Amino acid sequence: MHSPVLAIRRTPLVAVYGTLKRGLHNHHWLQDAEYLGRDTLTHITLYDLGHCPGAKQEPSRGIEVEVYRVNASGLAALDRLEDYRVRAPSRGTYDRSVHATTFGPAWLYLYNPGVAGRPAIRQGGWPAN
């Protein structure tokens, strides 16, 4: 059996829940990615940060994500956009970790800063629906 991390390095999948989704202002970062479909994850909660959401690994009633297959350069571009720091993940704005989706293991960006006072979205998606 292959490790999810090794499998994703060969064909990286990314699950997105915010401004990278279709029709939103950062979706162009995924223009060369293959859209695989939607899924619902119950192990993340979104927090409305105003201009974008931040996900925390917390139980929810189901958060909608879109899953894409990206190449290595596409994943590196997303890392820059999300301020993911490979050598110091906890120091960036977002960390990323592998999460199970219907399409296989996918990277998901988790928000590092605190979310005290921010509205939680525990079902549906962002923008709140």
CB atoms within 10 A of CB 1: 4
Tokens read off for 95: 């960390």
CA 20 – CA 30 distance, rounded (Å): 7
Per the annotation, the verdict on 82 as an active-site residue is yes
Using DSSP's 3-state secondary structure scheme, residue 89 falls into: helix
User: Which is the catalytic residue, given 34, 64, 66, 82?
Assistant: 82
Chain centroid to CA 25: 15
CB atoms within 10 A of CB 106: 27
- Phi, psi values for residue 70, rounded to 5°: -120, 160
Chain centroid to CA 67: 9
Q: Tell me the catalytic residues.
A: 82
